[in-house]
Amino acid sequence: MSDIIHLLPDTVANQIAAGEVVQRPSSVLKELVENSLDAGAQHIDIIVRDAGRTLLKVIDDGKGMSPTDARMAFERHATSKISTATDLFNLQTMGFRGEALASIAAVSQVDMTTRRPEDELGTKIEMAGATVISQDYCQCPYGTAIAVKNLFFNTPARRRFLKTNSTELKNLFQDFYRIALVYPKVHFTFTANDEQVFNLEPGTTKQRIAQLLGKTGKTDFYSQLLTIDTETELLSIKGYIGKPESAQKNPYQYLFVNGRYMRHPYFHKAVINAYQGLIANDVQPHYFIYFSIAAQDIDVNIHPTKTEIKFADEQSIWPLLYAAVRETLGKYDARPSLDFDQTDAPDIPTYDPRRNASLTMPSTGYDGYDPFKSSEQRTVDKEQRHESQNRNGNQETRPWKQETGIRNQDIQNWQRLYEGFQSHSELSQQQLIEQDDIALICQLDNKWLLCRTATELVLIDQHRAHTRVLYDHYTTQSGKQQASQQLLFPELWQINIDKAAIVREMLDDIKSLGFEIQKFGNTAFSVTAVPAELGDGNPIEALNDILATATEQTTNTTRQQKMALALARNAAIRAGQQLNATQQAQLLEQWLKTPMKAITPEGKNIMLTISFNEITRRI
């Protein structure tokens, strides 16, 4: 029997390596821009077409390469960043493995031009699938320009796994933010589909945040940022945190270490804990926090994309970060109860990089709040706008409509019967009620429809039931133009510049829902008509929800289904909205005709049942 183990060809090995390094167009952007920064570039232009599928080009004014280096750059594990294994623990550059260009070239067609300032002629290299097509001298500016075309052209299976253009564009912006926020002194431009999205002039870190985020709705980021500046023997912590009132459901949260973006749930928890009691449980603060620490105290070589970083002493950093955030909030009167003159205040030692003193763990107390657990309470405002995610936090007895003839004391007793009861989604499909079996009794507290069958009472959430009705309507009418109603005065929808680029890409889908919308400058849109079902609903809130939902990273629903869900949520009857007898009957009739009565499109229970036998047993 012959031997069966053999070395893989370089082309196959490169494609395997590309699977770790090049996951999507944003991975290409990250690797190319990091190379430009390592080359000392002060001006970087980024050009993408079709969210990077057909073209992603990065042009810099860095130091360029010689003809030999230009060719060597496409070889696996060829790098100028490190020479020995010990260099891995003293990294001063963004890249170091020498895998990026080889991996990119293995799954795309690449054109590169490069020239050093001291050279009269530059070098042009064309590659396709890791194969060199040509290499010649050329006239070009000093620096390097790399164009990546037709990503995954030779791996169609991977190309099919790319998301929609709007989602991939969102990923590109996300990685661009992570780099631009660390290098405020570098001039960046970003052009998507021949339209300039960003032109970031050099400035301070705070100015760069304002350039990227500007105004989000009513939030002016520049005025909402608090400065954090703490220096210790272990590390320095600088940056900005958002005022509690600027907290959002989808905030901007960035952690950096030594000029590199990182994901770190442990340190994220420290920041969140510092805000406890200042913000609602369903929102989180903005933060832009920069760590500076000795290179030998971290390990960036534990993840293919270098976004997960290991610290030698995480347990000591956690209380320092927590205390720094609390101190900043206290200084700006965001937490009046804080008193940093108390004897038990955290001791933050003075930072001196020349010292190698032993560290004393600061004494810092914190509670057991865990931001990763789902919230059990929601604010009343959220409950009335998009309806509560979980009603368990609302335990008070509500006043009932007097016209029902039911005494409040009776209702209090009746409500207690529901504790521990089986939800309708837990019942078998054979137990689903039919239209002829159910009779409407009344509306309770302007939130529920109380009905009865021959054997049980049925409580139906009016907002969730109507959401299910509208969602089914929108999805069955997918691809057809929905009815619109003209607004008396146009509404102006202002969003971030990156989100505006995504909206322009999905504008036809938004219009098909019944919106009449057109561009109004680079970061705004004029809304002149809304879907007929939206009624008196807020069109700007609806559009913001549609945009956020449509760009969520989920794999089990299409973008059209996500948009239908967001519109249904906003157009549905609100919790707290009083319905007359005709409206109640119409809602019940429409809901009974839906094929999935038990749950909303998000998987939440719509109804609750209690049998008469159970009532008899409990009373």
Tell me the DSSP string of 417-470: TTTTPPBGGGS-GGG---GGG-EEEEEETTTEEEEE-SSEEEEEEHHHHHHHHH
Helix (H) or strand (E) run with residue 408 in it = helix 408-416
What is the rounded average pLDDT of the residues 251-270?
93
Residue closest to 60 by CA, chosen among 137, 138, 118, 112: 112
pLDDT at 442: 96
CA distances 289 to 270, 283, 372, 589, Å, are 12, 19, 20, 54
Question: Looking at the predicted structure, is the pLDDT value of residue 335 above 50?
Answer: no
Backbone phi, psi, residue 5, to 5°: -95, 130
Superfamily name with CATH number, domain 375-619: MutL, C-terminal domain, regulatory subdomain (3.30.1370.100)
The answer to whether 359 and 315 have CB atoms below 8 angstroms apart is no
92 or 244, higher pLDDT: 244
* H or E stretch covering 581: helix 581-592
Domain with CATH 3.30.1370.100 in the chain: 375-619
Q: What is the mean pLDDT of residues 122-134?
A: 94
Lowest mean pLDDT among 186-190, 233-237, 437-441: 437-441
Distance from C-alpha of 365 to C-alpha of 117, rounded to nearest angstrom: 56
Q: What whole-number distance in Å separates Cα of residue 273 and Cα of residue 288?
A: 16
According to the model, what pLDDT value does residue 16 have? 62
Please report the pLDDT score of residue 208 as a whole number.
93
Helix intervals (H) in 92-191: 100-106, 156-160, 165-180
Q: Predicted confidence band at 268 (pLDDT cuts at 50, 70, 90)?
A: very high
How distant, in Å, are the alpha carbons of 222, 241, 327, 496, 503 from that of 211?
9, 16, 27, 10, 19
Q: How far is CA 223 from CA 177, 336, 464, in A?
A: 20, 20, 38
Say how far apart CA 30 and CA 35 lie, in whole Å. Answer: 9
Q: Which of 282-296, 350-364, 425-439 has the highest mean pLDDT?
A: 282-296
- DSSP 3-state of 147: strand
Percent helix, strand, coil in the chain, to 5, is 35, 25, 40
Task: Please write the tens of the pLDDT for every residue from 40-84.
Answer: 999 999 999 999 999 999 999 999 999 999 999 888 777 765 556
Q: How far apart are CA 225 and CA 246, in angstroms?
A: 9
Query: Among 3.90.1150.10, 1.10.10.10, 3.40.50.880, 3.30.565.10, what is the CATH number of 10-200?
Result: 3.30.565.10
Please report the pLDDT score of residue 249 as a whole number: 80
Q: How far, in Å, CA of 118 to CA of 233, rounded?
A: 43
pLDDT number for residue 523: 83
Confidence (pLDDT) at 80: 65
Angle at 143 between CA 140 and CA 148, to 5 degrees: 85
What is the per-residue pLDDT for 616?
93
Query: CA 449 to CA 579: how far, in whole Å?
Result: 10
Confidence of residue 502 (pLDDT cuts 50, 70, 90): confident
Given a cut of 90, is residue 200 above it in pLDDT? yes
Q: What is the mean pLDDT of residues 216-226?
A: 71
* Structural tokens at position 272: 């969140």
> Where do the CATH 3.30.565.10 domains begin and end in the chain?
10-200
Please give the Cα distance from 204 to 202 (Å, whole number): 7
pLDDT at 401: 32
Question: What pLDDT, on a 0 to 100 scale, did the predictor assign at position 518?
Answer: 92
Q: Model confidence over 535-593: pLDDT tens digits?
A: 888 999 999 999 988 887 665 788 889 999 999 999 999 999 999 999 999 999 999 99
Mean pLDDT of 19-30: 85
How confident is the model over 404-427, as a mean pLDDT? Answer: 39
> What is residue 5's predicted lDDT score, i.e. its pLDDT?
78
Nearest to 284 by CA among 272, 292, 295, 273: 272
User: How many whole angstroms separate alpha carbon 468 and alpha carbon 595?
Assistant: 10
Residue 392 has pLDDT above 80, yes or no: no
First to last CA, the chain: 81
State yes or no: pLDDT of 23 exceeds 70. yes
- In 205-342, which residue ranges form alpha helices assigned H by DSSP? 205-213, 265-274, 314-331
Which pLDDT does position 68 carry in this prediction?
Answer: 93
Domain with CATH 3.30.230.10 in the chain: 205-331
Residue 115 scores a pLDDT above 50: yes
Whether residue 566 contacts residue 546, with contact meaning beta carbons closer than 8 Å, is answered with yes
pLDDT at 370 over 60: no
Q: How many residues does the chain have?
A: 619
The pair of structure tokens assigned to 328 is: 């900043």
The b-or-e profile of 151-185 (16+ CB within 10 A means b, else e) is bbebbeebeeebbbbbbbbbbbbebbbbbbbbbbe
| Predicted local distance difference test score (pLDDT) of residue 95 | 58
Query: Residue 40: which region, alpha, beta or left (left: phi > 0; alpha: psi -120 to 50)?
Result: left
pTM here is: 0.66
Going by pLDDT thresholds of 50, 70 and 90, the confidence category of residue 220 is: low
| Fold assignment, 205-331 | Ribosomal Protein S5; domain 2 (3.30.230)
Question: Out of 229-238, 326-335, 380-389, 521-530, which region has the weakest mean confidence (pLDDT)?
Answer: 380-389
